[in-house]
């Protein structure tokens, strides 16, 4: 569970990808499907991100975007993002068209599951922060022994619960996987997630062997992390990525 960027072929060297396809999940949420212009496949570990160079005229930004697809999905790789109030970096990404090129470095990041743990796994995400969880889940499903996994995934409405059909299908096909979609007002999402985590993984039993993968935006992620760690789960068992 540590910096797999280099081992996955990443590094600071700049790479160039072409936009092959665009998919709109919702008016404010989009996926870009990218291919390296040199024809090679990007090597990465599920859960990693790339760092995109965003030239804005008055400044050049570098922003991380998680790879929402799996290494096994040969061909292009996917990033998924949403509009942010005042977010000029992501606004630039929304302006990209098919055929445009994007410069990036990576992959980077240690929010990964390189060894599938043989204990129960709790996964928590909201909105586009399902991006790292999606390939992590797929990796776990490919393990010779699939651990028991429960995903709590929240959004303000149905259209922002991304990859819903795919997640429902996993829940139907994989006896060890359960999926709990949650609709909550944007400003109440983390209160709801905290409540559900408390009920399911703290109050329900005394088992503290579980591992957790939490991804989301802002301080709510830290509140979830602290709730679980403060309730007896080991520090290193609670993996999190805060956007």
Please give the size of the binding site for ligand FAD, defined by CB under 6 A. Answer: 23
In terms of residues, how long is the chain? 243
> Quick one: 90 or 210, whose CB is closer to ligand FAD?
90
Q: Which ranges of the chain would DSSP assign to H, the alpha helix? A: 88-94, 133-141, 164-173, 189-197, 219-229
Considering only 32, 131, 137, 224, the residue that binds ligand FAD (CB under 6 A) is: 131
Q: Count Cβ atoms within 10 A of the Cβ of residue 55 and give its class: 0-12 exposed, 13-18 middle, 19 or more buried.
A: exposed
Q: Rule CB under 6 A: say whether 128 interacts with ligand FAD.
A: yes
Segment near ligand FAD (CB under 6 A); pick from 11-19, 58-66, 147-155, 195-203: 58-66
Q: In whole angstroms, what is the distance from residue 49 CA to residue 65 CA?
A: 5
Smallest gap from Cβ 173 to ligand FAD, in A, equals 26
Note whether 241 binds ligand FAD by CB under 6 A: yes
| Under 8 Å between Cβ of 15 and 96 | no
From 14-22, 82-90, 97-105, 189-197, span contacting ligand FAD (CB under 6 A): 82-90
65 binds ligand FAD (CB under 6 A): yes
Looking up tokens 């936009």 gives 19
Say how far apart CA 30 and CA 86 lie, in whole Å: 17
Q: Given the complex with ligand FAD, which of 41 and 94 has the nearer CB atom?
A: 94
Only segment of 63-71, 94-102, 179-187, 225-233 that touches ligand FAD (CB under 6 A):
63-71
**135 is an interface residue for ligand FAD by CB under 6 A:** no
Opening angle at CA 137, ends 222 and 215, nearest 5: 15
- Based on the shown chain and the rule CB under 6 A, indicate whether residue 63 belongs to the binding site for ligand FAD: yes
Between 218 and 230, CB nearer to ligand FAD: 218
- CA quadruple 63, 191, 189, 228: dihedral, nearest 10: 50
Identify the residue among 84, 119, 142, 143 touching ligand FAD (CB under 6 A). Answer: 84
- Asked if 56 is part of the footprint of ligand FAD (rule: CB under 6 A), the reply reads no
Q: What is the DSSP letter of 3?
A: -
Q: Are strands 101-108 and 77-82 parallel, antiparallel or unpaired?
A: unpaired
Please tell me whether residue 82 binds ligand FAD under the rule CB under 6 A: yes
- Answer whether 221's CB lies under 8 Å from 212's CB: no
Residues that bind ligand FAD (CB under 6 A): 49, 61, 63-66, 79-82, 84, 86-90, 109, 128, 131, 217-218, 241, 243
């Amino acid at each position: 569970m540590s910096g797999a960027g280099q081992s996955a072929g990443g590094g600071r060297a700049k790479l160039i990808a072409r936009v092959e396809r665009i998919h709109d999940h919702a008016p404010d949420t989009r996926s870009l499907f990218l291919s390296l212009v040199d024809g090679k496949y990007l090597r990465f570990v599920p859960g990693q991100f790339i760092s995109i160079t965003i030239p804005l005229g008055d400044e050049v930004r570098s922003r991380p975007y998680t790879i929402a697809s799996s290494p096994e999905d040969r061909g292009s790789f996917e990033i998924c993002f949403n509009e942010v109030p005042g977010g000029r970096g992501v606004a630039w990404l929304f302006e990209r068209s098919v055929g445009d090129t994007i410069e990036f470095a990576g992959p980077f990041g240690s929010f990964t599951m390189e060894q599938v743990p043989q204990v129960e796994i709790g996964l928590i995400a909201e909105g586009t922060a399902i991006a790292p969880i999606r390939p992590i889940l797929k990796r776990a499903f490919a393990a010779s022994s699939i651990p028991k996994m429960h995903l709590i995934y929240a959004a303000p409405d149905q259209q922002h619960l991304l990859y819903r059909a795919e997640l429902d299908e996993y829940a139907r096909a994989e006896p060890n996987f359960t999926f709990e979609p949650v609709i909550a007002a944007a400003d109440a999402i983390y209160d709801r997630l905290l409540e559900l985590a408390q009920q399911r993984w703290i109050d329900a039993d005394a088992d503290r062997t579980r591992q957790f993968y939490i991804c989301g935006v802002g301080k709510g992620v830290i509140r979830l992390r602290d709730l679980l760690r403060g309730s007896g789960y080991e520090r290193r068992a609670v993996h999190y990525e805060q956007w």
